Amino acid sequence: MTGTLVRAGAAGRAPSRRRHLLAAATGALLVALGSGCATQERGSIVREDSPPAAATPGASGPAPAPSVAGPGNGPVSSAGRPPSTTPPPGLPRPSSPPKNPTDVTSPGWIGGTVTTGGTGPCYGLVTDDGEAYALYSDQGWTLVEGTRIRALVEPNPLRIYCGPGRHVRLVKFANVG
């Protein structure tokens, strides 16, 4: 044989075929990895970290219009339709804050330890399960800190801050121990 020496690959293929396969596999890998760093905008792929076309030096032609989300020019689903504009199912969002407290305690008996005592009008109580109550009463009762009591409480109609915890009105109480 005269001329150039052709060396066969491990599987008997010419080296040029192996290079083409390696180049194709590398290209596919780069496309797969690059797709995570790109977004689709108006039918074309745009890298998120690349500058806009108008900011690129040497860019010619008119600058593209800014992308504004909304019907007609917003994101398009895989089915070719814009996403639904109807709100998801559930409770509607309130138009304003509630006028009355939403965590009103129903009247009932609670038991616990007095954490803030005195002659009133505000007292503190922590139940055995750790829930804190801010008690209000204008009766002038004397509660001693550390005493265990059983108290009849109801929602407090007045907007008075008596400390941390659930705000209720103290109707009556009895010492337990």
Residue 51 scores a pLDDT above 60 = no
Percent of the chain beyond pLDDT 70? 54
Helix, strand, coil share (%) of the chain residues, nearest 5: 15, 25, 60
The region of weakest confidence among 36-50, 76-90, 99-113 is: 36-50
Report how far residue 172's alpha carbon sits from residue 177's, in angstroms, rounded to the nearest whole number.
16
On the 0-12 / 13-18 / 19+ scale of CB atoms within 10 A, 123 is buried
Reported as a single tens digit per residue, the pLDDT across 54-78 is 444 545 555 555 545 545 555 655 6
On the 0-12 / 13-18 / 19+ scale of CB atoms within 10 A, 113 is middle
Report how far residue 144's alpha carbon sits from residue 128's, in angstroms, rounded to the nearest whole number.
17
Report how far residue 64's alpha carbon sits from residue 51's, in angstroms, rounded to the nearest whole number.
13
pTM of the model: 0.43
E-only strand ranges, the chain: 38-41, 44-47, 108-116, 122-127, 132-136, 148-155, 166-175
- Inter-residue contact 46 to 39 (CB < 8 Å): yes
